[in-house]
Amino acid sequence: MTPGRFITLEGGEGVGKSTQVRRLAEALEARGLHVLVTREPGGSEGAEAIRNLLMQGDVARWSPHAEALLFAAARADHVDRQIRPAIGAGHWVICDRFIDSTRAYQGAQGIDDAAILALHGFGSRGLLPDRTFLLELPAGEGRARAARRDPAANDRFEARDNGFHDAVAAGFARIAEAEPVRVRRIDASGTPEIVTDALVEALSDLLP
């Protein structure tokens, strides 16, 4: 049986993660792989219920500590019920956001990285992706793209100020610099086709 793999796409608002998750899944399926596409927060029944709590309401609805705990709880259910079983069955799992988003977003609010990883170690038994892609755009371009979307689609995190989003981008950059084997930085400024090609090329060492 072909070994299952776990791939995540990360990045700030408006960088095109959702588009590239779908396109990458199509590219891998064309190679004969079984692919599960999922997202965070969410991906399982319990995690989707927590997603509704996290993403809706006023920006100040939850404290940073409460957010970190809610994300960890949602992820634990998602990992147990969807991600680990799919990998065990030999499927490739592609997830729109995972632990690195918590590290970047809650880290931007002052939560210590070691504390976030400790929660992940307990709740999700420390599962890390085989490969993480950090999609990057020039400063402000992603937020400009996000602003052109349907305002009704905006959530508590998109609504925050530029200083917060700059801190998130810096957090992602630190993770990528510290873990260059797992995390690959991808220029997301090209056409969707060019970006997908770059993703597939950066997976070449894992493809059967």
- For residue 184, which of 26, 10, 22, 3 has the smallest C-alpha distance? 10
- In a structure prediction context, what are the per-residue pLDDT tens digits for the chain, which is 208 residues long? 678 999 999 999 889 999 999 999 999 999 999 999 999 999 999 999 999 999 888 888 899 999 999 999 999 999 999 999 999 999 999 999 999 999 999 999 999 999 999 999 999 999 999 999 999 998 776 566 666 665 545 566 776 778 888 999 999 999 999 999 999 999 999 999 999 999 999 999 999 8
Longest CA–CA span in the chain (Å) reads: 47
DSSP state for residue 86 in the 8-state scheme: H
Cβ-Cβ contacts under 8 Å for 134 (sequence gap 6 or more): 10, 11, 100, 172, 175, 176, 183, 184, 185, 186
Give this prediction's pTM: 0.91
- As a three-state string, the secondary structure of 127-196 is CCCCEEEEEECCCCHHHHHHHCCCHHHCCCCCCCCHHHHHHHHHHHHHHHHHCCCCEEEEECCCCHHHHH
| d(C-alpha 154, C-alpha 82), whole Å | 26
**Domains of the chain (ranges plus CATH)?**
5-201 (3.40.50.300)
